[in-house]
Amino acid sequence: MDRLTGVDVRTREDYHREVRIHFSLLVRTRTDGVMMPATIGNLTREDVTDRVRAEQEGEPDPDDKKKWLRRKADPKSIRNRHGLLYCIIEASMESTPQLRTTNCCKKTSLPRLGTTASSAAST
């Protein structure tokens, strides 16, 4: 992100914040169900889909059902974060050395704008 051109300092800072707050929640789930930290090299389409779904559903507080540990994200925020991740993965494919050969964000089903998390999940 620091090498992006055509963006101002604030946008670059916003991107860093998204990575720090939201992308740190990405996990890699192996085929045996074991969860591990996600990296550029091990992230899969299923991991990206799981993260989108988690953002749609939010995370209720198990101790107080009226509170949230992480609130449901609105569709535009989910789409914006996914777009940023898509660009990061694309950059990893074009880097030297190349870190990936495919983009795990391609063909992710995203919530439609103007829908709530519950209605998007049922479509």
Q: Is residue 82 part of a domain?
A: yes
Residue 5 has pLDDT above 60, yes or no: yes
User: What average pLDDT does this structure show over 28-44?
Assistant: 94
Give the integer Cα–Cα distance in Å for 7 and 108.
Answer: 26
In a domain, 84, yes or no: yes
Residue 103 counted as domain residue? yes
- Which amino acid makes up residue 90? E
Residue 117 located in a structural domain: no
pTM: 0.85
Domain interval for residue 31: 9-107
CB 103 within 8 A of CB 40: no
CB atoms within 10 A of CB 51: 22
Whether omega before 97 lies within 30 degrees of 0, making that bond cis, reads yes
Number of folded domains that form the chain: 1
- Say if residue 33's pLDDT is above 60: yes
Query: Does some domain include residue 2?
Result: no
Q: Establish if 113 belongs to a structural domain.
A: no
Q: 51, 68, 50, 67: which is closest to 59 by C-alpha?
A: 68
**Mean pLDDT, all residues of the chain:** 90
d(CA 11, CA 9): 5
| Residue 121: inside a domain | no
* 81 within a domain of the structure (yes/no): yes
Q: Which amino acid is at 98?
A: Q
Cα–Cα distance for residue pair 48/14, rounded to 1 Å: 20
Instruction: Identify the band that residue 67 occupies on the pLDDT scale cut at 50, 70 and 90.
Output: very high
H/E segment holding residue 69:
strand 64-70
Per-residue pLDDT band at 37 (split at 50, 70, 90): very high
